[in-house]
Chains A and B, each alone.
Chain A
Amino acid sequence: MDRLRSALSAFVFSTVAFANTATAQEEAVTTFTLANGMEVVVVEDNRAPVVQHMVWYRAGSADEPAGESGVAHFLEHLMFKATDTLADGEFSAVVSANGGRDNAFTSYDYTAYFQRVAADRLGIMMQMEADRMRNIRFTEENVAIERGVVLEERKQRTDSNPRALLGEQMNAAQYLNHRYGVPIIGWRHEIEALSHADLRDFYETYYYPNNAILVVSGDVTADEVRVLAEEHYGVIPANPDLPERAGSIEPPQTVERRLVYRDARVAQPYVSRSYLAPERDPGDQRAAAALTLLAEVLGGGQTSYMTEKLQFESQKAVFSGAFYRGVSRDDTTFDVVIVPAPGVSLEEAEAAMDETLAQFVVDGVDPEQLDRIKYQLRASQIYARDDVDRIARRYGAALAVGLSVEDVQAWPDVLQSITPDEIVAAARDVLNPGTSVTGWLTRPDTTEVTQ
């Protein structure tokens, strides 16, 4: 349940998600495919005797049948329950008993399961992960109890959080047709109605080796992984009836959408806006690379254009930023936000932000700023080698949305090759009112918005 679009949850910007490109030569990455179609990525780092073992399924909330929102995420919870050979909770208990930690996450385009353990426990992890790929037992009791847990999770993450609620509504308004408009955790009434059979059907459709990617990082060789993977995953038959992943296509978006969400729990009002934006496509990552750099140049930190104009010069904002994440199967979003300074209304703040965006297209990119950003990107390839698990996650997510290993490895060079003109052109294209959703988060008494 990681990818809530609201990058606002903490009003804090971090370059971490951005600064993580690296090249294959330095990263010791090996990839191969098992006979049953399961893809394998190995990222070696022998500095500490630890491995991370991940299995990514190309099945997320966007793959759910209509009316069954939340089934992908609910299933993720049930994957920790009994199989034919393991009792309820035994999976995690065995991981713990081996000194490891495990968890899982569900997104629009994938669901992934992972453990971090001592390197010599990798075989046990694979044995159990392979077991639950095909042998989960769905009992009425487990479904009933876990439904309570999922509903509490929704209350905690979404219903108790005005920012998350606005984000959910903005998403729903952004996508007219695509399943990205439905929350990953699901709509409450549909979570309440999900049946035992719905969960089983999703599992029986997608949880097969030919729909999965194994990603192992840490103190292990590719040959060792190959032997273990053949033993544990290689014996599982592929699903010959795996459906094509047909994403729904957005109709032309021509109408500017505006939402106002009023909630007494709002402490800090703000204006958030999303624009429909292209994603990274296999063999064609230039537009996404330009948008990635645009987000940095425009709103990526202390020296960005928006920060300069809105926080330092006009002082209309206590925070502003721009966000883009191109790893997605279908159209994603480019987001901007402004949190007004004391005494500044949401209306004024939005006007100041719009003026700044328009002026950016006129002013263009500061070449020195772009040089600094590109240097940071090159440096991030060095820093990334200190965290192979993150490299592993990058490969897992990219392969799960249909990018290739070559795309992942080409990405740093594509970023370096983007010109200032391409960034401005990307801004002109993406900052299109007709594809935008603007959300105001405020308190019930709108006269109070300036606080």
Chain B
Amino acid sequence: MTRLALALILSFFASLPARAEVQIQEVVSPGGITAWLVQEPSIPFVALELRFRGGASLDDPDKRGAINLMTGLLEEGAADLDARAFAREAEGLAASFTYDVGVDSVSVSARFLSENRDAAVDLLRTSLIEPRFDQDALDRVRDQVLTGLRSDAKDPDSIARNAFNAMAFGDHPYGSNYRGTVETVSALTREDIVAAHGAVLARDRLYVGAVGDIKPEELGPLLDTLLGALPQAGAPQPEAADVTIEGGYTVIDFDGPQSVAIFGQLGVDQDDPDFFAARILNQVLGAGGFESRLFTEVREKRGLTYGVYSFLLPRDHAATLQGQVASANESVAEAVSVIREEWTRAATDGVTAQEVEAAKTFVTGAYPLQFSGNGPIARIMVGMQMLGLPIDYIATRNDKVEAVTLDDVNRVAGELLTPDALHFVVVGKPEGLESSAANEG
């Protein structure tokens, strides 16, 4: 290990009590790979999080599902090891590698012991750089994906989500299932998988977080060994989505005792100056565990559901505000009507000062609870980098929440919440609900 180019920027979790002296350093490897590191030498292992921006949204539209299948195949054989030999090797090292795919990124979460770190990193490297994509493994994993797709086709939650996404995002990759369809996945060839690998796993879209028993001067060379051979560039990132959500209902017939409803409207981007006001608003409206207005009105007062919630979904190329509820076929219309009323009430009357204070206390107090363990901290750091947040963000984040005022929240409630443009996709046999005219045919 020769010369290291180390850029050390220290930051502290100032929002935590002083004794939580967790420090993030930026490490740039000799080969130019940037990572954020938290040294945590007390337990002899490292959690490493890698994320490649773009994820399944980089699929060629005709090859939908290729990136999902490719990601599933990374652990199914690499270099001179076939699928079984690779699994035996990973087990023999007691290392764990998890490869995951989402609409905005492909992520690799690794965990390995200090005592065999080099061997573990070498094995992980082969899976990223030299995956075999053997035809027998491809066929086997394809069957697993098809099994999942067939299950989705009979799962009311998946049916509702797919219908909502198709309506809201249309031809954008967000509008279709990233796992593809039975038709597209059945048609995928080894060449398609190789192309998907080249589209996603490239250095120009890579973000790295590491937490654990490793020094910065060790991490740099490790990253070069692990990732240095990746190509510089991959497929171009998708354009922003053109989101269209019209108020009303889409009812999809499905046999069962309950109806599932997914509802949503336009949302707010994470870099919007009003994001934290919207975050507090949603906390009051539907995100709070047992305290939100939706939970109180639909479950606590009326007993219409086991769970109802709403959430902000600020993705890379579109932001929405969505929610979900399940209720008996006889009562789902009432649940939906209560949700609509709460949407209107918040939009027109706003929320109260006490609600804003309670939401702020929760949102600021819950933040430190997320930093529980090496893996979660590595994931949080990668998420911060992908959003372009500064390395000292953790220390300032709660101040941004505290700065939100009642007026901010109520102004955002008036601007953001559009009860007339709130659309419900209902899957089941809901009594008293039918598709709006605009959605028929």
A residues lining the B interface (CB < 8 Å): 11, 15, 46-50, 80, 88-89, 92-93, 96-103, 116-120, 144-153, 155-157, 159-160, 264-268, 301-303, 308, 311-312, 315, 318-319, 339, 341-342, 369, 372-373, 375-376, 378-380, 382-383, 385-387, 389, 451
6 contacts between A and B (CB under 8 A): A89-B290, A101-B369, A147-B303, A265-B154, A265-B256, A389-B372
> Given A118-B368, A389-B372, are A145 and B303 neighbors across the interface (CB < 8 Å)?
yes
Residues of B within 8 A of A382 (CB): 43-45, 113
A311–B140 touching, CB < 8 Å: yes
In the assembled complex, how far is the CB of residue A190 from the closest CB belonging to chain B, in whole angstroms?
Answer: 17
A50–B368 touching, CB < 8 Å: yes
- B366-378 CB contact bits vs A (8 Å, 1 = yes)? 1111011111000
Q: Is B291 an interface residue (CB 8 A)?
A: yes
Residues of B within 8 A of A301 (CB): 87, 91
**B40 nearest CB neighbor, chain A only:** A47
> Given A156-B258, A267-B155, A451-B150, are A303 and B369 neighbors across the interface (CB < 8 Å)?
no
B302–A148 touching, CB < 8 Å: yes
Q: Is B301 an interface residue (CB 8 A)?
A: yes
**B149 nearest CB neighbor, chain A only:** A267
B369–A342 touching, CB < 8 Å: no
Q: Is B365 an interface residue (CB 8 A)?
A: yes
List B residues 226-251 near A (Cβ within 8 Å). Answer: none
Q: From A99, A147, A375, A379, give the contact of B362 (CB < 8 A).
A: A99
B366–A144 touching, CB < 8 Å: no
A160–B258 touching, CB < 8 Å: yes
Residues of A within 8 A of B111 (CB): 383
Complex: how many Å from CA A10 to CA B50? 25
Q: Is B84 an interface residue (CB 8 A)?
A: yes
B365–A144 touching, CB < 8 Å: no
Complex: how many Å from CA A342 to CA B144? 10
Complex: how many Å from CA A11 to CA B180? 19
**A80 nearest CB neighbor, chain B only:** B290
Closest 4 CB pairs of A and B: A99-B365, A148-B303, A379-B94, A302-B87
B interface bracket (residues with beta carbon within 8 Å of A): 35 or more
In the assembled complex, how far is the CB of residue A114 from the closest CB belonging to chain B, in whole angstroms?
Answer: 13
Q: From A89, A151, A267, A341, give the contact of B151 (CB < 8 A).
A: A267
A152–B88 touching, CB < 8 Å: no
Complex: how many Å from CA A378 to CA B87? 18
B84–A302 touching, CB < 8 Å: yes
User: Which candidate, B14-22, B28-36, B61-69, B415-423, is the interface stretch facing chain A?
Assistant: B14-22
B residues lining the A interface (CB < 8 Å): 16-17, 19-20, 22, 40, 42-45, 47, 83-84, 87-88, 91-92, 94, 96, 111, 113, 140, 143-144, 146-148, 150-156, 255-258, 288-291, 296, 299-307, 326-328, 358, 361-362, 364-369, 371-375
**A158 nearest CB neighbor, chain B only:** B257
A339–B84 touching, CB < 8 Å: no
The secondary structure that dominates the B interface is mixed
**B143 nearest CB neighbor, chain A only:** A318
A312–B84 touching, CB < 8 Å: yes
A318–B144 touching, CB < 8 Å: yes
**B303 nearest CB neighbor, chain A only:** A148
> Given A49-B20, A319-B144, are A303 and B368 neighbors across the interface (CB < 8 Å)?
no
Residues of B within 8 A of A145 (CB): 300-303
Residues of B within 8 A of A376 (CB): 91, 94
**Residue in A11, A96, A157 whose Cβ sees the most chain B Cβ within 10 Å:** A96
> Given A98-B365, A149-B303, A152-B304, are A383 and B45 neighbors across the interface (CB < 8 Å)?
yes
Residues of A within 8 A of B96 (CB): 15
In the assembled complex, how far is the CB of residue A327 from the closest CB belonging to chain B, in whole angstroms?
Answer: 23
Residues of B within 8 A of A303 (CB): 84, 87-88, 91
Complex: how many Å from CA A376 to CA B113? 11
Q: From A49, A93, A155, A389, give the contact of B368 (CB < 8 A).
A: A49
Residues of B within 8 A of A389 (CB): 372
In the assembled complex, how far is the CB of residue A196 from the closest CB belonging to chain B, in whole angstroms?
Answer: 16
Complex: how many Å from CA A242 to CA B47? 47
Complex: how many Å from CA A100 to CA B143? 42
Complex: how many Å from CA A361 to CA B113? 34
In the assembled complex, how far is the CB of residue A389 from the closest CB belonging to chain B, in whole angstroms?
Answer: 7
**A162 nearest CB neighbor, chain B only:** B154
Complex: how many Å from CA A50 to CA B94? 28
Complex: how many Å from CA A49 to CA B365? 11
**A443 nearest CB neighbor, chain B only:** B154
A11–B296 touching, CB < 8 Å: no
Residues of A within 8 A of B84 (CB): 302-303, 308, 312
**A264 nearest CB neighbor, chain B only:** B255
A99–B258 touching, CB < 8 Å: no
Complex: how many Å from CA A383 to CA B92? 15
Residues of A within 8 A of B91 (CB): 301-303, 372-373, 376
Complex: how many Å from CA A294 to CA B92? 18
Complex: how many Å from CA A152 to CA B334? 14
Q: From B147, B301, B374, give the contact of A339 (CB < 8 A).
A: B147
Residues of B within 8 A of A97 (CB): 358, 361-362
B358–A96 touching, CB < 8 Å: yes
In the assembled complex, how far is the CB of residue A23 from the closest CB belonging to chain B, in whole angstroms?
Answer: 14
**Residue in A80, A148, A380 whose Cβ sees the most chain B Cβ within 10 Å:** A148
Q: From B16, B256, B290, B326, give the contact of A49 (CB < 8 A).
A: B16
B146–A342 touching, CB < 8 Å: yes
Residues of A within 8 A of B17 (CB): 49, 118-120
A155–B258 touching, CB < 8 Å: yes
In the assembled complex, how far is the CB of residue B360 from the closest CB belonging to chain A, in whole angstroms?
Answer: 10
In the assembled complex, how far is the CB of residue A218 from the closest CB belonging to chain B, in whole angstroms?
Answer: 9
Complex: how many Å from CA A369 to CA B304? 51
**Residue in A102, A149, A153 whose Cβ sees the most chain B Cβ within 10 Å:** A149
> Given A268-B150, A315-B140, A375-B94, are A118 and B373 neighbors across the interface (CB < 8 Å)?
no
Q: From A117, A159, A451, give the contact of B258 (CB < 8 A).
A: A159
Residues of A within 8 A of B296 (CB): 89
Residues of B within 8 A of A120 (CB): 17
**A93 nearest CB neighbor, chain B only:** B291
Residues of B within 8 A of A147 (CB): 303
B88–A372 touching, CB < 8 Å: yes
Residues of A within 8 A of B299 (CB): 149
Complex: how many Å from CA A319 to CA B141? 10
Residues of A within 8 A of B300 (CB): 88-89, 145
Complex: how many Å from CA A199 to CA B131? 58
> Given A99-B365, A148-B304, A376-B94, are A387 and B147 neighbors across the interface (CB < 8 Å)?
no
Complex: how many Å from CA A242 to CA B82? 59
B366–A101 touching, CB < 8 Å: yes
B306–A153 touching, CB < 8 Å: yes
Complex: how many Å from CA A102 to CA B289? 8
Residues of A within 8 A of B372 (CB): 48, 50, 387, 389
**Residue in A49, A118, A150 whose Cβ sees the most chain B Cβ within 10 Å:** A49
Residues of B within 8 A of A308 (CB): 84
Residues of B within 8 A of A311 (CB): 140
In the assembled complex, how far is the CB of residue B427 from the closest CB belonging to chain A, in whole angstroms?
Answer: 11
**Residue in B45, B92, B361 whose Cβ sees the most chain A Cβ within 10 Å:** B92
Complex: how many Å from CA A268 to CA B146? 10
In the assembled complex, how far is the CB of residue B213 from the closest CB belonging to chain A, in whole angstroms?
Answer: 10
In the assembled complex, how far is the CB of residue B138 from the closest CB belonging to chain A, in whole angstroms?
Answer: 13
